[in-house]
A and B are shown apart, each in its own frame.
Chain A
Amino acid sequence: MFKKMKKTDIPSTIEEGDLFPGKELEKNRFNAADLKDYFDEGVPIWVWYSLENKSRNEDGKVNYHVLLAYERGVREDFNVFYKKNDYILRCVMSGSVDNPYLLIIDIWKYSNRTALDIYHEEFPDAYKVFADIKKNTYKMKSVPCLLAEEEIAKKLMKHTKIHFMIDDYKNIEV
Chain B
Amino acid sequence: MANNKLTIDLTNENKEALEQIKQEYRIPYGNTVNQLIKTFAAISEETKDELLKFLQYNIKKIYNDIDNVDSYMFRVLSAKLEDYLNMAKFFNGGKSIYDTKSFTQKTLKTIRIKDGILIYPSDYIVLNPEIASSSMYAGVVECRNSVKYGEEHFGKPIPHFMFFCNKKYSSEYDAYFCQNINRLCVDVWPEFQVIIDNQVEPIDDPDKPYLIKNVEEWEAAPTIGYFAIYVQGDSKYPPDYVPVDGAKIIR
On whether A59 and B95 interact (CB within 8 A), knowing A33-B78, A117-B100, the answer reads yes
B247 beta carbon closer than 8 Å to chain A: no
Q: Indicate if the CB atoms of B78 and A31 lie closer than 8 Å.
A: yes
B13 beta carbon closer than 8 Å to chain A: yes
Q: Indicate if the CB atoms of A113 and B82 lie closer than 8 Å.
A: no
B155 beta carbon closer than 8 Å to chain A: no
On whether A160 and B100 interact (CB within 8 A), knowing A33-B75, A112-B74, the answer reads yes
Chain A binding surface SS class: helix
Q: Indicate if the CB atoms of A112 and B148 lie closer than 8 Å.
A: no
Chain B residues positioned under 8 Å from A119 (CB to CB): 78
Q: Which residue of B lies closest to A57 (CB)?
A: B96
Contact of A116 among B78, B95, B147 (CB under 8 A): B78
Q: Indicate if the CB atoms of B75 and A28 lie closer than 8 Å.
A: no
Q: Indicate if the CB atoms of B71 and A120 lie closer than 8 Å.
A: no
Q: Indicate if the CB atoms of A111 and B67 lie closer than 8 Å.
A: yes
Q: How far is the CA of A124 from the CA of B96 in the complex (A)?
A: 11
Q: How far is the CA of A33 from the CA of B211 in the complex (A)?
A: 50
B79 beta carbon closer than 8 Å to chain A: yes
Chain A residues positioned under 8 Å from B82 (CB to CB): 31-32
Chain B residues positioned under 8 Å from A112 (CB to CB): 66-67, 69, 74
Residues 116 to 174 of chain A near chain B (Cβ within 8 Å): 116-117, 119-121, 124, 157, 160
Contact of B78 among A32, A40, A121 (CB under 8 A): A32
Q: How far is the CA of A40 from the CA of B95 in the complex (A)?
A: 31
A6 beta carbon closer than 8 Å to chain B: no
A interface footprint on B55-82 (CB within 8 Å = 1, 0 otherwise): 0000000010011010100110011011
Chain A residues positioned under 8 Å from B95 (CB to CB): 59
Q: Which residue of A lies closest to B70 (CB)?
A: A112
| Chain A residues within CB distance 8 Å of chain B | 28-29, 31-33, 36-37, 40, 59-60, 111-113, 115-117, 119-121, 124, 157, 160
> Which 4 pairs from chain A and chain B are nearest by CB?
A33-B75, A32-B78, A120-B98, A112-B66
